[in-house]
Amino acid sequence: MPDGTDSRGGVGAAGRNLLFLREEELRLAQDLLFFGYRDFTAGPDAILAEMGMGRAHHRVLHFLGRRPGLTVGELLGILGITKQSLSRVLTPLVAQGYVAQNAGRADRRQRHLSLTPEGEALERRLFERQRETVTRAYREAGPVAVEGFRHVMRGLMGPEARRALERLGAADRPSVRAVPPGPARGKAP
């Protein structure tokens, strides 16, 4: 039958392929995203809270760690926030010595941002906390699921976010940072 049910009202072979599109499955996907994000951010949140910072600071540190030398305009585009919002986050990061600003060579009005050694150390510490979580999840899921996860996450992004990901050079390749190998799949991380 066209709706994927068989003549008895049950789900036929073709319908099994569409079960993930039912409302309850879509609500489960939302639950998974909410809880996954909560636990993914919990470690860095705790570290940053001790320092009087939050997730907005983490986002700035993350993207400057991924691509040193971003201009303020590029960072605004990636984060999708206003100049005023970025200023509230960037000002203390600069004042506390985590981020450096330099005028552009070609255009002195541009401000290029990069992490200082202190900023790099903090960003690394935050990355390490999240790396543990992602590594464990990837190992449990396996390579096919990881690739499927990447496809789903890209599918959730709008065109602007996809372009930002491409500009970071992260669209189709893993991070340029070397991640030391951990224990074999199936062993405790």
Output b/e per residue, 11-32; b: 16+ Cβ within 10 A.
Answer: eeeeeeeeeeeeeeeeeeeeee
Residue 62's region, left for phi above 0, alpha for psi from -120 to 50, else beta, is alpha
Task: Say if residue 115's pLDDT is above 80.
Answer: yes
Task: Say if residue 155's pLDDT is above 80.
Answer: yes
Question: How crowded is residue 122: how many other Cβ atoms within 10 Å of its Cβ?
Answer: 24
Q: For the whole model, what pTM was predicted?
A: 0.77
CATH pick for 23-167 out of 3.30.70.2190, 1.10.260.40, 1.10.10.10, 2.60.40.10: 1.10.10.10
Domain residue ranges in the chain:
23-167
Task: Say if residue 174's pLDDT is above 70.
Answer: no
- CB half-sphere exposure, 6, CA atoms < 13 A: 7
**pLDDT, tens digit, 9 for 90 and up, residues 53-67:** 999 999 999 999 999
Element holding 111 (H helix, E strand): strand 111-115
Residue 13: what pLDDT? 53
Residue 99: what pLDDT? 98
**pLDDT, tens digit, 9 for 90 and up, residues 42-95:** 999 999 999 999 999 999 999 999 999 999 999 999 999 999 999 999 999 999
Task: Say if residue 183's pLDDT is above 70.
Answer: no
